[in-house]
Structure 1
Amino acid sequence: MSISQANRQLNRPVNTEQILEGVALHGALNDQTNKILSKDASVFLAVLHRAFNERRKNLLQRRQQVQAELDKGNQLDFLPETKHVRENDAWRGAPPAPGLTDRRIEITGPTDRKMVVNALNSDVWTYMADFEDASAPTWDNMINGQLNLYDAIRGQVDFKQGEKEYKLRTDRVLPTLIARSRGWHLVEKHFTVDGEPISGSLFDFGLYFFNNAEELVRRGRGPYFYLPKMESYLEARLWNDVFCLSQDYIGMPRGTIRGTVLIETITAAFQMDEIIYELRDHSAGLNCGRWDYIFSFIKRFRQNSNFVLPDRASVTMTVPFMDAYVRLLIKTCHRRGVHAMGGMAAQIPRKDDKEENEKVMDMVRQDKLREVRAGHDGTWIAHPGLAPVTAEVFNKHMPTPNQIFVRREDVHVTANDLLNTNVPGKITEDGIRKNLNIGLGYMEGWLRGVGCVPINYLMEDAATAEVSRSQLWQWCRHGVQLEDGKKMEKDFALKILHEQADKLDREGAKGNKYQLAARYFATQVTGEDYDEFLTSLLYDEITNVSGKTPAAKL
């Protein structure tokens, strides 16, 4: 018996059957499910749920309390109660873990088998396998995604589709794998504990960690994660406690897990130091989740007419509030000795048009040049075809594995800088229609179980759909005047929505779900009802909750 196996026996609950009482599966059972969701894995998930779910729900309620204060006109600021954390120069995050020292290019995408093989074969340094924004959380998608990563870690992911074979490369070390679980707000209804669905975050993290942590360490890497959509340092503290319990449970040294936090909410931007501090022994840095950040900015200030933004195309990374966010993130990360990761290049190469493709590559080049010059240690791409131009920029301007040594002590960002909405641009009917097309296009794909959708040669996911939805709501709520003099009102918004939905329906494949998407979207664009997340709004449409199978019978 290995030391690790002995530790597992010492640390695991004595009465597993008792723990499994009240634990049930409501999704289809097959060979894939049995391989991933064993009885022991179910016990672990139940332990996580019972230990942390009440705290999770309380923290979600705390988000609404913050929203209520903002709706009253109160403004965000750096927290006085954590000033001692921000002003203390002595503490640091963890040094880079094996395989995470150099992260200059990270490719991101869903966890279907083809994507997993293509991503790991790309000329990148890491692959962020996404159970969140790029995946629609059907039961099959979540289970098969776990299976695909399980097989990939063990070099068993090769497969054949039609006449084409997909095989992992053997001529180089493969990119480091990082898994992104769902955010704290989402649940997994196909796995219940004591009659309550488990958190999607804990389900995704728990299965990946339990099945793969030891194998990853054995292969010279570790269980690494991206942590999305957090809104406070208390949510980071919750993740840290999850990490500690999990490592103790299997007898793994604390600090083996590493988490990179996506700073993609406006509230988290005021707590960057605190978030790193809470995760410090497990911290792998912060990432600029640019589209979700814009979404959060609009969502949290949606009732305030002073925060109305122009067409999405005008809200670039160089506008004041986005530039301040980037500069503060880099300074904070490097002061604490951890990575500051850049944002997504969502462009899709134009194989059909050489001239247009050159324009696409130049856009990516300029975006990555801005990032590396600002001090980012790496960046995201959505397509393997963007790797060469991105590597060209980062290799030239960052010859070292990272540039954490670039301290950016010249940066001084205030609360007003983070909230500066001096964004030049107009609100146009064209911008309205583009937002509708993106929202409808993404939602239609999601309702079919597809989590990221190519639209106009851009890879759109939940974050960009949320920006589109929130802008439409905001413009309607405040009755903004368009460039051509028209006023954005409920009837006008619904009229254009139905025009776009009908057009997409006519042009789309038979059996598409554009009209269903439009029915949901119509509730979100009139300045009245506003759900916290589109994915929560749509989730019941893609769940297939079947009969109850006690986990003890697995």
Structure 2
Amino acid sequence: MTASTLTIRDNLKDTYSDVYTPEALAALSALALFNKPIKKVMAARMQRRAERQRLKERITFLDPESSIPGTRIRVQDARDGNFEGAVIPPDLQRQWIQGTGPAAKPNAPVESSIRNVAYALLSGADGWMFDGEDALGQITTMSLDNQRNLKLAIHRDPLFLKVAEQVAGEMNTWARGFLGRETITDWQKQLDFTTKIFRARGLHLDDRHIRDADGVAMAASIVDLTLYVTNNYQALQQAGSSVVLYLPKIQKASEAALWNEMLTALEHHLGMAKGTIKVYVLVEQLEATYQLMEIRAALSRHFVGFNTGRWDYINSVSDAMAWDSSFINPNIEAITMTYGYMRNYEDRVRRAVNTPDRNGNYALWQGGMEPNIPVGSSEGVAASMKKAVAGAEREQREGASGKWVAHWKMVHIVRPVWEKVGAANQLGREFPRLTYTPADADGLIQLEPAPRDIRGARNLLSVALQYGNAFGQGMQAAALKAADFFGNDDILYLMEDMATGEIRLSILWEWLHKGATLTESDPATGVQAGDTFTESLYRRLLDEEYDKLLKASSKDVFDSSKTTTLPIARAIADTYILSAVKPPWFIDLLNINLNNLDLAEASRRISLYMDTLNREGTRITENLDFKPVGQ
């Protein structure tokens, strides 16, 4: 396949010629052959999901005598560490704090948009995961803006350096007021400190701008991987940096094997040694927790570590157990990393990374996300920062080599937890080897008593509606809190991304369709402890929470959104929660309405998606507005 057989919509090939370079287009064409295998794997996912729900079956461990599809590795060999893994490169040996966020802003000129990258690289974080997935808006051409900004920053373009100097001054002004000291002494030298990392979109998503020779939407994973690596690998290597990616939403070791094939193919095409590209895997799916060693083995010399995220993982557990009427989550606030199935999940990850491969190599464990932002009343900030530091201390004690923060202001608040200990990482710390017993499987879906109440339901609804609204405006990462706390500076905004919106809808779906029992009385609604969460109660809460958003100030809910993206967000949330068939991905319903502000058209697209899902068991993932040049 040649570059000419790829179709790029509108005139983007010309307007983004710095991203769609001849080299990048040639690499995309070389990797386009993976589009069909990815589509086949995603179809198998949907079939597997439907079959489990039809037969009411739980996820199980693999047969130890089987082989990992796409490899020659026996499952038992993977579990025993009998495979070739990676040596951790020098710039990943110490990753106490990684920040995360997109490299672009919606509807912003380059000089404004690229400030995101400057904040990240001047933050003092050991690494920054520039997001192409859950936190990156996808309206208009944001995925390409993201790639452009990263290329400008990595290649030290004069425009980026000009912006970085300005941003450094602003960051020091904040630091003097909040920390009592400056955090940047030499802004140019500081730019070299942070390891650049990129999160590609998962296998389940399609790119909005490119179709293959058959007119099929190109898998977003192919596009993100290829554009980022091809445009930046030489500059990164010349600067002594590794080429590092985060791979999201992997469910099975066979999917990891497919990623490994793509990574190897790109390395071969670009003349890089096999294993040059390093990857972390975000353990965001319940099924992956049953196959951790197998995933490590399948990614071979590319794999450097796992990350234990919270929100996506909770959603995956909810989705995998949608058929089980007895599996009902509590309030989202109760599901911390020490709660039931989350505690067991984290424990399996730390055991997996501390199992050596055949050459004695261990892997890294990057802990979870700190979503707090230190903006609010002095009392609110102090309480939230105390909680954030305590969470970091717990993860460090448990064996994590570092964690994430969602805002640059949190770096110097949380990083001292690891600085005090001083160890570069916790590679090879001793934990019991993984076991694969029925008790282990039970632990991965273990519920524990916790509140399930009207306050929890209001928070779930309010933030989910606000998130859908923010998504439609191009802000896939947004600082949000429930409407009842608007104007209360003691309650801080939290950085929310796609996963946090999705799990809220998922839990509400559980409560409604499984007849959740509420644990607390609520005088305002007349609900008594022991009452069931009914559709009439849900509709009342939806109306009330939506009304609060309509009446909110523009600071919390943009006035312009109240007649455009907010009604669409409500229609999507309502469809998701009421549907007898649980939608597989919240992002699908949001994606098909990107750049659409008309509620009637949104309703048509939502119906099209749900009808297709119910009738054919398939998802609509392509850009419905795709138009090739000249059409």
- Which of the numbers 352, 371, 386 marks the counterpart of 1:362? 386
Q: Distance in 2 between matches of 1:92 and 1:373?
A: 29
Aligned 1:138-537 pairs, distance under 5 A: 138-156=139-157, 158=160, 169-172=187-190, 173-194=192-213, 195-336=215-356, 337-350=362-375, 352-397=376-421, 399-409=422-432, 414-456=439-481, 457-482=493-518, 483-484=520-521, 485=528, 486-507=531-552, 508-512=557-561, 513-537=565-589
Query: Does the CA-based 8 Å contact 1:505-1:515 persist in structure 2?
Result: no
Query: Does the CA-based 8 Å contact 1:462-1:535 persist in structure 2?
Result: yes
Of the structure 1 ranges 479-488 and 467-476, higher mean CA displacement relative to structure 2 is found in 479-488
Q: Which residue of 1 aligns with 2:26?
A: 43
1:538 aligns with 2:590: yes
SS at match of 1:34: coil
Aligned 1:8-19 pairs, distance under 5 A: 19=2
**Closer, same or farther: CA 251–288 of 1 in aligned 2, 3 Å:** same
Query: Does the CA-based 8 Å contact 1:25-1:190 persist in structure 2?
Result: yes
Residues 303-329 of structure 1: CA distance to partner in whole angstroms, max 9, x if unpaired?
212221111011111112111111110
Q: Which residue of 2 aligns with 1:34?
A: 17
Q: Which residue of 2 aligns with 1:107?
A: 99
**Closer, same or farther: CA 356–316 of 1 in aligned 2, 3 Å:** same
Q: Which residue of 1 aligns with 2:89?
A: 97
Identity of aligned residues (%): 28
SS at match of 1:542: coil
RMSD: 2.2
Query: Does the CA-based 8 Å contact 2:306-2:365 persist in structure 1?
Result: yes
SS at match of 2:575: coil
Q: Which residue of 2 aligns with 1:14?
A: none
Structure 2: runs of 5+ lacking an equivalent? 67-73, 105-113, 170-185, 357-361, 482-492, 522-527, 596-622
Of the structure 1 ranges 77-86 and 382-391, higher mean CA displacement relative to structure 2 is found in 77-86
Residues 28-54 of structure 1: CA distance to partner in whole angstroms, max 9, x if unpaired?
5387511111233223213212x2112
Query: Does the CA-based 8 Å contact 2:352-2:433 persist in structure 1?
Result: no
Of the structure 1 ranges 437-446 and 496-505, higher mean CA displacement relative to structure 2 is found in 496-505
Q: Distance in 1 between matches of 2:474 and 2:440?
A: 40
SS at match of 2:336: coil
Query: Does the CA-based 8 Å contact 1:286-1:340 persist in structure 2?
Result: yes
Q: Which residue of 2 aligns with 1:3?
A: none
Q: Distance in 1 between matches of 2:140 and 2:313?
A: 28
Query: What letter is aligned with 2:545?
Result: Q
Q: Which residue of 2 aligns with 1:12?
A: none
SS at match of 2:56: coil
Q: Distance in 1 between matches of 2:263 and 2:270?
A: 11
How far has the Cα of 1:426 moved from its partner?
2.1
**Closer, same or farther: CA 91–35 of 1 in aligned 2, 3 Å:** same
Q: Which residue of 2 aligns with 1:53?
A: 35
Query: Does the CA-based 8 Å contact 1:114-1:166 persist in structure 2?
Result: no
Residues 372-391 of structure 1: CA distance to partner in whole angstroms, max 9, x if unpaired?
11101111011122222322
1:548 aligns with 2:628: yes
How far has the Cα of 1:222 moved from its partner?
2.5
Question: Could you tell me the TM-score, scaled by structure 2's length?
Answer: 0.80
Query: Does the CA-based 8 Å contact 1:479-1:487 persist in structure 2?
Result: yes
Q: Which residue of 2 aligns with 1:8?
A: none
Residues 488-542 of structure 1: CA distance to partner in whole angstroms, max 9, x if unpaired?
2233323322322232123132220211110111101125243211111111222
Structure 1: runs of 5+ lacking an equivalent? 1-17
1:119 aligns with 2:120: yes
Q: Distance in 2 between matches of 1:139 and 1:289?
A: 28
**Closer, same or farther: CA 201–30 of 1 in aligned 2, 3 Å:** closer
Query: Does the CA-based 8 Å contact 2:326-2:514 persist in structure 1?
Result: no
Of the structure 1 ranges 406-415 and 340-349, higher mean CA displacement relative to structure 2 is found in 406-415
Q: Distance in 2 between matches of 1:420 and 1:191?
A: 39
Q: Which residue of 1 aligns with 2:598?
A: none
Higher relative contact order (CA 8 A, sep 6+): 1
Residues 105-160 of structure 1: CA distance to partner in whole angstroms, max 9, x if unpaired?
10001111222110110111000000101012234211110011001111225277
Q: Distance in 1 between matches of 2:353 and 2:96?
A: 15
Of the structure 1 ranges 86-95 and 137-146, higher mean CA displacement relative to structure 2 is found in 86-95
Residues 383-423 of structure 1: CA distance to partner in whole angstroms, max 9, x if unpaired?
122222322111223x2211112121277675335334232
Q: How many corresponding residue pairs?
A: 529
How far has the Cα of 1:165 moved from its partner?
5.2
Query: Does the CA-based 8 Å contact 1:368-1:379 persist in structure 2?
Result: yes
**Closer, same or farther: CA 535–27 of 1 in aligned 2, 3 Å:** farther
Query: Does the CA-based 8 Å contact 2:469-2:566 persist in structure 1?
Result: yes
SS at match of 2:338: coil
Query: What letter is aligned with 1:158?
Result: F
Query: What letter is aligned with 1:495?
Result: R
SS at match of 2:217: strand
